[in-house]
């Protein structure tokens, strides 16, 4: 029990340190820098890194750019509920510029995936199928595929769950901190 509390405390301390480091690197308003830092910490998430490393080498960069677009869309979905269209656009542009300097980024590839993410993700949380389940990982992968890039679907159920909770968490964060 005590070991678990210490482990949790250290993980939170490490996350706070990473958030501060990313905020210091980010450019933009305080709000934009905070969201950039949140997105960068999510890119560093152990589950995301593990999923990426399980893919063939030629798909890893596509996976990370797709995940970056997913993070931008998730935050954008929260921003749009409380910010003006101009402030939402400014936050997304700041995040994309940061990704271009500090993450996986190839302009033509990223832009194509981002455009398709705009099409696929609005339906991501709508329950589907006979079970009436929303499973947004399919829309994330579909965005890359529709953009013309091969990306193997994740086989780990936990990563699909991670996507589901991330989209909700970041969308809510976008609303709460905007």
What tens digit of pLDDT does each residue of 55-105 get?
Answer: 999 999 999 999 999 999 998 988 888 889 999 999 999 999 999 999 999
What tens digit of pLDDT does each residue of 15-51 get?
Answer: 778 888 888 999 999 989 988 998 999 999 999 999 9
* pLDDT band, residue 162 (cuts 50/70/90): confident
Q: Is the pLDDT higher at 135 or at 1?
A: 135
Q: What is the per-residue DSSP string for 38-102? A: HHHHHHT-HHHHHHHHTS-HHHHHHHHHHHHHHHHHHHHHHHHHHS-HHHHHHHHHHHHHHHHHH
State the pTM of this model. 0.86
């Amino acid at each position: 029990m005590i070991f678990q509390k210490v482990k949790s405390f250290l993980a939170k301390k490490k996350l706070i340190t990473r958030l501060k480091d990313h905020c210091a690197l980010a450019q933009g308003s305080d709000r934009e820098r905070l969201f950039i830092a949140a997105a960068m910490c999510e890119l560093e998430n152990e589950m995301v890194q593990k999923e990426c490393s399980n893919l063939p080498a030629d798909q890893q960069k596509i996976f990370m750019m797709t995940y970056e677009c997913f993070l931008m869309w998730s935050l954008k979905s929260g921003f749009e509920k409380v910010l003006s269209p101009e402030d939402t656009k400014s936050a997304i542009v700041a995040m994309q510029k940061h990704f271009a300097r500090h993450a996986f980024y190839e302009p033509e590839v990223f832009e194509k995936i981002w455009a398709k993410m705009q099409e696929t993700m609005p339906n991501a949380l709508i329950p589907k199928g006979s079970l009436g389940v929303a499973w947004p990982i399919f829309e994330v992968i579909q965005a890359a595929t529709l953009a013309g890039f091969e990306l193997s679907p994740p086989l780990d159920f936990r990563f699909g769950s991670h996507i589901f909770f991330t989209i909700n968490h970041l969308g809510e964060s976008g609303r709460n901190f905007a």
